[in-house]
Structure formats: structure tokens, C-alpha cells
Structure 1
Amino acid sequence: MERITADYLIETPFPLADVAATMAGEQSSGTFVRVAGETDELRARSAAEVLRVEELGEVETPSLGSAYIARKGAPGPFRRARVSIAFPVGNIGKNLPTLASTVSGNLFDLGEVTGLKLLNVEVPPEYRTRYPLPAQGIDGTRASLGVQGRPIFGTIIKPNVGMTPEAIATLVADLCAAGVDFIKDDEICANPDVAPLSARVPLVMEAIKRAEDRSGRRVMMAFNITDELDAMRRHADLVARHGGTCVMASLNWCGLSAMETLRAHTPLAIHGHRNGFGAMSRHSALGMAFPAYQALYRLSGVDHMHVHGIGGKFVDSPEEVTEAARACLSPLAEGSDDAVMPAFSSGQWAGTLASALEAAGSSDLMFMCGGGILAHPDGPASGIASLHDAYEAFSSGESLADAARKRPALAAALEFFGRR
């Protein structure tokens, strides 16, 4: 029997094995009491199985409140454990929202737990084939850009929102001339009144094509098409008609089913932005860790996924960023060629590039700098040059300080951004 395995962190004052069994029953064929029709045959076919319960210690104070526990008078201590549960594929079929509901769903509301976090989801190889692969992925993205053997250096349209289509197109033209590989809209700029996609896409793509005519290199622009599903399909078609190669969507606010349908609709690269993920991840005993999150959204067929960055402006630890980047670069199932390109962002500049490369263990990454390029004291071209300088120094084992002595763009970046 094919089964999907999910790993959890739980916290509870009740016996760990009992709570794990409750979790398995709640998310498969059982409920809090056995009901008519719940035959042994049905249970053999559809019941989830607790594979292991690994105790991790205990705490005196619960992480989260529970009226159920207060009603039962269970004062603690509160034990923590890592729990692994296997769910029969036959309960789910090819149904991504139901897969997510099965491995998470009501588990977060169980009265017995004072903490529950979904850590990881593993799917068997044959089940992986039911879902789309990335349309472009790492190889397709590199081929589209003509960039091999180094990171893809990108930036974000700044100011985030408020610019007119004409101003955005002018900025894109300047960035193309400066030598950027990849440009994306900010997550809050999708189809605003001041710069609707219907006006923005033609002007921006005209600027990109003019730059390509001069330089021979095509820049990839990720247009933010986040919207309701029918509108997203129309927006993707608009981008394709004008020769675009990539669209971006805010994964959490569009949802799994919308992303899966968008993937079926367009061959364009889909740049998956994870904004809002912190609401799922920041509490150590609640929500969803990135390995589980990326597994679900990668089954929808995205090509790139944000992993934040080390030493930037967000809360992620270096270990969390490393885990996220390496998860994106690993197959979801044995033998599956479905790696997606991790996109590093958030306060990144030449001085943080080495940490990104070490985190990924590979140069197969997008390294995106907003201020790190646009705010370089000598202009965007020098901002991009500083990234190439930093990569060359990393590749040769040279320190940034030594490399900066003969590379003025890098020296200016170290002086300007290194003070912040």
C-alpha cells in the first residue's frame, strides 16, 4: 500500500502514544469513538498508522492554551515528542488540497495538544508522478536566461508600489542595461490602479526586448499576477502574448488549488513567493515548518521558491535558511527530477552572497538584492558588478576584503552596506 508520511512536533500532558493514535484516527478513518461501519476491513484499508513516537523532553508551562485540557484537569508536565504518521494514498487520490487537509487540518485544533507543528511531508515516487513537475525549474530558468555556472543575480522593483507603468519600464530598462539577470515585482504590487498589468506588461516587455536587441541577453521578469484564479489565467496569457517568461504569485493567498490550476494553464515559469509564511512558522510549537510547506507547494508545480536570506532583515536563523534552500534543491521523491530554484532575498547584498552559497551548497540559486543593487553608492551597474566580484572571490577562495582592493564596485559595497 502506498503511503504518505508526515512528521510532527507535539506537546501534551497526556500519554504520547495515546495522543499520536488520536492524531492518526482524526485524520483518517476514525473519530473519538468507534462508529457503525468502521469495520476491520475498512480500518485495514484506510486507517493511518503511527510509525514512531520519539520523546524529546518536557516543559512545565504549556506553549498554547486548551479549554479541553483545563476541563480535563491535566496540569502537566507537558511532554514533547516527534511523531511520524503514515496515511494511505487511497484516502486522498490526486487531490492536493485534501492532501494538505489530511496531514494538517484539524490536528491544529486537537484539545489534547498544547503544541503541534507539521515538520515534513514525504510522498512515495509513484504518487509524485500524479502531480505536475516544474515547467521550467532550474535548467529551464538557466536556459531562458543563458546563465550557467553561477547564481542568478536579480532585483526587485523599488519603490514597492506607487510607480506608474512608464516609470517601471524606465527602471527595468536601466536594470537591463546594468546587467541584471532577473527582476521581480514586489509582492504587494500586483494589479494596482496606478500601474495595472494591462498597461505595465506591454511597456516593461518592450523595454526588455529593446535591451535584448542591444545586448543579446534576455532578462527574466516575474510579473506579480496574484489575483483570483480566472484573473491570474488572463494575466498569465497577457504576459505570454508579450513575450514574457515568468509570472509570480503569493502562494499563501492564492492557495494550493489555484497554483495547481495556474500551472496547468501556463508553461511560463512560476515564481512562488511565500509572504505570510511567518504566521505558520515562527512559533516553535505551532504551524508548519518549511520542509512540509515547500513539499505541498512544489506538488502544485512551481519553479522557484523564496527561502529568505542569511544576515538580512527577516527573522530566519542561518539553520532555517539552509534547511529551506536544501529542501528546494532535493527531490520530493526518490528518482524525481523536480528540484526548484531557491530564491534568496531580504536585505541581501554582496557581503551576504557567500552565506547563501554555503547554505544552498550549490550555485543553483537566485540571489535577489533590492537595495543591495539599487542603493549601491555608484549606481545599479556597480551594485550588480559587486555581486559578480563577490562570487569570483568566493569561487577562488579569496576574502572579500582582499578582493575589494582591486574591485572598486565591491569595495564601495563593503564600505556602504557593511556599516548597516
Structure 2
Amino acid sequence: MSAADRFEASYLIETPLDPRKVAEVMAGEQSCGTFTRVAGETDALRERARAVVSHVAVLETADEPSLPNAWLDRKGVTGPWRRARVTISFPVDNVGANLATLASIVAGNLYDLGEVTGLRLDTITLPWSFRRRFALPAQGIAGTRRLAGVASGPLVGSIIKPNVGLSASETAELVAKLCAAGLDFIKDDEICANPVHAPLAERVPAVMAAVRRHQDRTGKAVMIAFNITDETDAMRRHADLVAREGGSCVMASLNWCGFSAIETLRRSTDLALHGHRNGYGAISRHPLLGISFQAYQTLWRLAGVDHMHVHGVQGKFAQEDEEVVSSARDCVTPLTDGADDRVMPAFSSGQWAGTAQPTFDAIGHADLLFMAGGGILAHPGGPAAGVASIRQAWEAVAGGVPVAEAAQRHPELKQALDFFGAAAG
């Protein structure tokens, strides 16, 4: 079987047993059945369907297990607990064009194996012959830039605040102010989708009327990411409404909608699909449990999203900057060599003009959404000054000019550094 007929997944595992034997258990569990022969498991079947352990690299040991394990306790098995990186190769024909099954195969029951006290899906690597069976982003980076009218530099965005409570007309009034402030992108908060006080049936027309008025005055079509998180049929109806009103983007909470709903939504609309990852911390924060971002974003990119949240450098959440940067790089790395399936990383959480420099230093490009809530709305000069300060900071760092130096020529940037910098310090 050629490399084009197989895909690979890599894992970090912890076990008191021989990691090589545990790797074989993993391969058997996620393909033919188990590490040893069973009735009906012929040589021909194994050749066609068996997952194969490609590599095992034994790492350090630990004195305590990372996770409890009743199976090992019943057997009286104790440490030391060995850690290892394991790579397993799977036949693509075990999956077909089936994203939910792909996720079941690379993860699934592996988290419950009795042999492990820790297991984390780290990476997924696909051949083009397999990747092409799934959706490509309808817009991706290039389409998002075209729809938002931003040829270069970051798309500067913000989030509607208060998160919930505003009526449809109040939301539209706020959007009008944010458009006038000079934003490229405005999104709903993840907790505001279709509330009684501002249902999408009222909110979308009201907001888009404000956006069209702004476009008539300025020629600028601001991209609005309406949160249409819902059950599948409702999301399709919501997306149709956004399209009828001239919108260009919808947002969904990926983890709570699920692969099938996002795939169905992707097939039903060519609007930019803003993938919000809220809840990802539940499957990622423990270093020996869950899914690393490379594997996570691979699965969601196969569903056809156009944007992926990565949090922000020096942000308010728990992730280290290194993880944020690595996640952003994953988004702009093609999954295979066959097509441009890059998606736009969405930076948010505690972002302001002062985080432009470390963000650019870390990733070296500006193909991103740079979203600031307080960094814009709480700027002492007002929202327009907040937007200006962020644009000034990004222009400076892209041109190799220190932000502090640029601030001497730009009062909005200087105000931001003085105000938010003091708070950060």
C-alpha cells in the first residue's frame, strides 16, 4: 500500500507498560480490533485494513501517573510511568470521505485504553489524495481579504459588547458606531446567537442596514460575523438570511455544533465561515490528555472553515504565547501540497496596539484577523482612536519601526501605549 493510500496520526502517551506494545494495542484498537489475531482476521484483511505503528520514541519517565486508571489499579500495575511519542499509519479506505469517522479513528476509544495513564492526539498528516475528498475553505485568506476589501495588513476587528442584552436596534446602533470607527471586521460574541431580546430574524436585517448605509457613505463593506450557532437546519436558515441581507460571514461555535453540522453548513453556503473554538480548553489544557491544535485545526479545516481562533499573544487566557504562535502557523500551513487550503488565524483576547509588535515578531506576517474589544472600545480617545492606534502599530512593525518611536508621530498610538501599557504593567 503506497503512502498516498495512508494517513498518519501522532500521539504523546504515558504508560507503566512497554510503550512499543501499547502502540500496537492502539493500532489494533483503531483498525482491525486488537493487538492479537481474532477470528476472521486473515492475512489479506490485515494487509488491507490494519493500522501500522510507524515510529515510537521513548521519552522521560514520571513518578506519578498523570491520570487515574482503575484497570491498572485492579491489576496492581505501578510505575514508573513511561512517556513516548507514537506515530501510527492508517489506510485511508478505512475512513472514506467521512469526517466524523476520521475523528473516531484517530481519537475515539484511545482515551479510555486501560494501558495508558495519559494520551494526547498531537498531529494528523494527510496525503492530497485523501485531503481532496473533504471540503476546501470557500473563502480562506484570499476570499476574506476580497470580501472585506483589505488587500494587505491585518484585518482589524472587534466584538460586540455588551455580550448579551442589547436589542436588535441597539446592536445595529453599536455596529454603526464601530463601522464609523474604521473597523474591517465585527463579530458577535460566542454567547450571543439567537436570544429572545435580539433574534437573528430581527438582528441581521437591522445590522446589515447599518452596514449598507456605511458602505454607501464610504465604499467600505465591513465584514460582520453573525453568530448562527444552532441546530443544523436552523443554521442553514440563518445563513440564508445573512446572504439575502448582503452579509459575507457567519460564525459558529465548532465544538458544540459538531463536525456534521459544520459540514452541512459549508455545503449550503459560500459565506466566510468563522470558526470559534470556545470549549477547546476542555480538550487541550492538560498536557497528557485531549487534542493538540495541529490535529484539532486539521479536522475543522476538513469541515471547510475559513477562519480559526487561536487566542492572542500576551492575552488574557491560559495559553502560553508559544502555543498561540504555533496555532497561528498551523492555520497558514497548507495541509498538503495539493491546494491552497490555508485559513485565516483569528487573534483575540486582551489584544491592543501594544501586542502588534510581539505578534508580528513571532509569526512574521499579517495574514490574520486582529480583534480587540477593550483595546478599541476602552481607548481614552474613543473607538476611532483605538482602531487608529492598532493600524498605526501594525504599520510601524511591518515597516521595521519600533512602536514607541512611531508613537511620537501618532497621538492615538501614544495614548494607547500610555493607557493600556500602564494597565498591563
Of residues 151, 172, 176, the one that matches 1:173 is 176
AA matched with 1:181 = D
Instruction: Give the equivalent residue in structure 1 for 2:87.
Output: 84
Aligned to 2:8: 5
| Equivalent position to 1:358, from 357, 361, 368 | 361
* Deviation of the 1:34 alpha carbon: 2.9
Give the counterpart of 1:224 among 221, 224, 227: 227
Q: Alignment length, in residue pairs?
A: 420
Q: Tell me, which stretches of 5 or more residues in structure 2 are unaligned?
A: none
> How far off is 1:370 after superposition?
0.8
Q: Distance in 2 between matches of 1:395 and 1:224?
A: 32
* Distance in structure 2 (CA, Å) of the matches to 1:20 and 1:234: 45
Q: Which residue of 2 aligns with 1:66?
A: 69
CA distance in 2, matches of 1:221, 1:247: 7
Partner in structure 2 of residue 285 of structure 1: 288
Q: d(CA) in 1 for partners of 2:409 and 2:35?
A: 70
Counterpart CA distance in 1 for 2:402 and 2:364 is 18
CA distance in 1, matches of 2:170, 2:16: 59
**Match for 1:48 among 40, 47, 51?**
51
1:31 and 2:51 correspond: no
Question: Shift of residue 285 of structure 1?
Answer: 0.4
Compute the displacement of 1:212 (Å).
0.3
Question: Which has the higher mean CA deviation after the structures are superposed, 142-151 or 182-191?
Answer: 142-151
| In 1, Cα distance between equivalents of 2:341 and 2:93 | 23
Which residue does the alignment assign to 1:139? 142
Partner residue, 2:23: 20
Task: Tell me the TM-score normalized by structure 1.
Answer: 0.99
Cα distance in 2, alignment partners of residues 79 and 376 from structure 1 = 51
Deviations 1:15-60 (A, max 9, x none): 0110000000000012265321111110110000000000111001
| 1:297 matched to 2:300 | yes
Structure 1 residue 357 displacement after superposition: 2.1
Contact kept? 1:325, 1:359, Cα under 8 Å: no
Secondary structure of the residue aligned to 1:58 is: strand
State yes or no: 1:245 paired with 2:248. Answer: yes
Counterpart among 323, 326, 330 of residue 323 in structure 1 = 326
**Partner residue of 2:121?**
118
Give CA-to-partner distance per residue, 1:374-406, whole Å, 9 cap, x none: 111111000000011101211222222221112
1:358 alignment partner, SS class: helix
Give a deviation string over 1:248-295, Cα, whole Å, max 9, x none: 000000011111111000010000000000001100100000000000
Distance of 2:333 and 2:339 partners within structure 1: 9
Q: Which residue of 2 aligns with 1:128?
A: 131
Shift of 1:359: 3.0
Q: Distance in 2 between matches of 1:219 and 1:245?
A: 9
* Residue 341 of structure 2 is aligned to residue 334 of structure 1: no
Aligned equivalent of 1:262: 265
What is the rounded CA distance, in whole Å, between the counterparts of 2:47 and 2:232 in structure 1? 39
The whole-number CA distance in structure 1 between the counterparts of 2:113 and 2:362 is 36
Q: Give CA-to-partner distance per residue, 1:87-122, whole Å, 9 cap, x none.
A: 100111000000000000000000110000000111
Please name the residue that 1:349 is paired with.
352
**Aligned with 2:313 (options 310, 315, 318):** 310
Are the aligned partners of 1:326 and 1:359 in contact in 2 as well (CA < 8 Å)? no
CA contact (8 A) 2:24 2:35 kept: no
Q: Which residue of 2 aligns with 1:157?
A: 160
Q: CA deviation at 1:182?
A: 0.2
Report SS of the residue matched to 1:87: strand
Inter-partner Cα distance in structure 2 for 1:336 and 1:101? 25
TM-score, normalised via structure 2 length? 0.98
Report sequence identity in percent: 62
SS at 1:343 equivalent: strand
SS at match of 1:327: helix
Are the equivalent residues in 1 in contact too, given 2:360–2:398 (CA < 8 A)? no
> Which deviates further from its counterpart, 98-107 or 400-409?
400-409
* Residue deviations 1:138-174 (CA, integer Å, cap 9, x gap): 0001011111120100000001111111111001101
Residue 166 of structure 1 aligns with an amino acid whose one-letter code is S
* Residue of structure 2 in register with 1:276 after alignment: 279
Tell me, yes or no, if the aligned pair for 1:321 and 1:359 is still in contact at 8 Å: no
Letter in 2 for 1:414: L
SS in 2 for 1:419: helix
Q: Is this contact kept in 1: 2:52–2:88, CA < 8 A?
A: yes
Work out whether residues 139 and 271 of structure 2, in 8 Å CA contact, stay in contact via their aligned partners in 1.
yes
2:373 maps to which of 346, 370, 375? 370
Decide whether the 8 Å contact of 1:305 with 1:342 is kept in 2.
yes
